[in-house]
Amino acid sequence: MNIENKHILIGITGGIAAYKICELIRKFKKNGADVQVICTPNALNFVTKLTLQNLSQNEVFVDEFHPKHWKPEHISLADWADVMIIAPASANTIGKIAQGIADNLLTSVACAFPKPMIIAPAMNVNMWQNSGVQSNINILKSRGAEILPPESGFLACGYLGRGRLCSIDKIFDCACDILSYSKILSGKKVVITSGGTIEKIDPVRYISNFSSGKMGLALAKCANLMGAEVTLITTKDVDVPFKTIKVQSAKQMLESVNSEFEGADFIIMASAVADYRVKNYSEQKIKKGNDETITLELVKNPDILKEICNKKQESLKNTPIIVGFCAESENLEENAKDKINKKGCDFLIANDISRSDIGFNSDENEVIIFDKSGGKNKLEKSSKTLIARKILEYINH
């Protein structure tokens, strides 16, 4: 992958694996990238500033403010970099970034960094498994950070388990992959729906499904990296650098899709829309009576995918390209072919939710892309980020 003249910002925290980052810097420099390094004060207990300066051929930053420059480093470095890598990332630094604490140069830059960020943790196995650390990791994931989990092995502390910094090649390849995003969607508007809709029964209960919204969010983030003007219509709380519209019900989602329809080049319906809603919503909490059962009368929700496909046909325009999703637990291809014919969308993405490794809430997926002309293309199991990227490249070809 060509990363010549790309700007790589590497943050090193205090951990025994800090010495390994020397090889990472060397690989980036060998491939023509420009590298700048930020160290936490404790990182310099494990690797010297002089070594890092010689390898990067740039000054190494540690202090919050540097008298040589008029512009604060945490802003100028954030503006300069194309991607930021924090490796090894200690539990302490991970917690600070997740909670928005900016008490040194590295955390200040991370707080001000709106572009792709890669975090490669390394720590004791018990620290990694700590619920607080995992909560912070999930916060960073929700904000779009690429987390490269530690690997299992013998640790410097004498423990055996997960906690070793992942391979330098993995960090390098991940950065190259992010930097290789072509701006094929520049000037195009992409509308994406995500998450399972919520249909209220009463003020405390609702009908929904197990959709995590991860696939839709991955599509939105990739489209943004590819230069698109992105609108994410979602039922989930997300922290992203593009337009989002928070909804709950299928009706609200339909209204939002319709409001974004005009001018859209792509509408991707990755959400799991509830087929039914309660006919008579109760303004008060339904009390448990003496009966062993309760009956709820359900009515059909609007078929958002079909309605926007009809809207496209009525507009007599070739845009937007409409992409549906099909989550099936059996007869995947047969049901997908039937659905694309009934709905009238341009593409349909089918995935098997019966598989625990790619089903709801998984970080990986495997899909088949069907098109209205009868063609199909299988994308083998991979991360949802990579699957999202391949879907966007395919529907844009």
Does residue 73 register a pLDDT over 80?
A: no
Residues forming a β-bridge with 9: 36, 84
233-282 pLDDT per residue, tens? 999 998 888 999 999 999 999 999 999 999 999 999 999 999 999 999 99
HEC per residue, the chain: CCCCCCEEEEEECCCHHHHHHHHHHHHHHHCCCEEEEEECHHHHHCCCHHHHHHHHCCCEECCCCCCCCCCCHHHHHHHHCCEEEEEEECHHHHHHHHCCCCCCHHHHHHHCCCCCEEEEECCCHHHHHCHHHHHHHHHHHHCCCEECCCEEEECCCCCEEEEECCCHHHHHHHHHHHHCCCCCCCCCEEEEEECECCEEEECCEEECCCCCCHHHHHHHHHHHHCCCEEEEEECCCCCCCCEEEECCCHHHHHHHHHHHHCCCCEEEECCECCCEEECCCCCCCCCCCCCCCCCCCEEECCCHHHHHHHHHHHHCCCCCEEEEEEEECCCHHHHHHHHHHHHCCCEEEEEECCCCCCCCCCCEEEEEEEECCCCEEEEEEEEHHHHHHHHHHHHCC
In whole angstroms, what separates CA 251 from the centre of its chain?
A: 26
pLDDT band at 71 (very low <50, low <70, confident <90, very high): low
Output b/e per residue, 158-185; b: 16+ Cβ within 10 A.
eeeebbbbbebeebbebbbbbbebeeeb
223-233 pLDDT per residue, tens? 998 999 999 99
Does residue 367 register a pLDDT over 90?
A: yes
Burial class of residue 360 (count of CB atoms within 10 Å of its CB; 0-12, 13-18, 19+): middle
308-340 pLDDT per residue, tens? 999 998 887 778 999 999 988 888 889 999 999
**Are the C-beta atoms of residues 119 and 86 closer than 8 Å to each other?**
yes
Which candidate in 22, 39, 111, 157 is catalytic? 157
Whether 157 is a known active-site residue: answer yes
Identify the structural domains of the chain with CATH numbers, from first to last. Answer: 7-179 (3.40.50.1950), 189-395 (3.40.50.10300)
Section 287-293 average pLDDT: 88
Section 331-357 average pLDDT: 90
Section 164-179 average pLDDT: 91
Look at residue 324 in the predicted model and tell me its pLDDT.
Answer: 96
Report the Cα–Cα distance between both ends of the chain, in Å, rounded: 21
Nearest by Cα to 220 from 187, 154, 263, 266:
266
Average pLDDT along the chain: 91
Residue at token pair 């099936």: 328
Does residue 70 register a pLDDT over 50?
A: no
Section 353-382 average pLDDT: 87
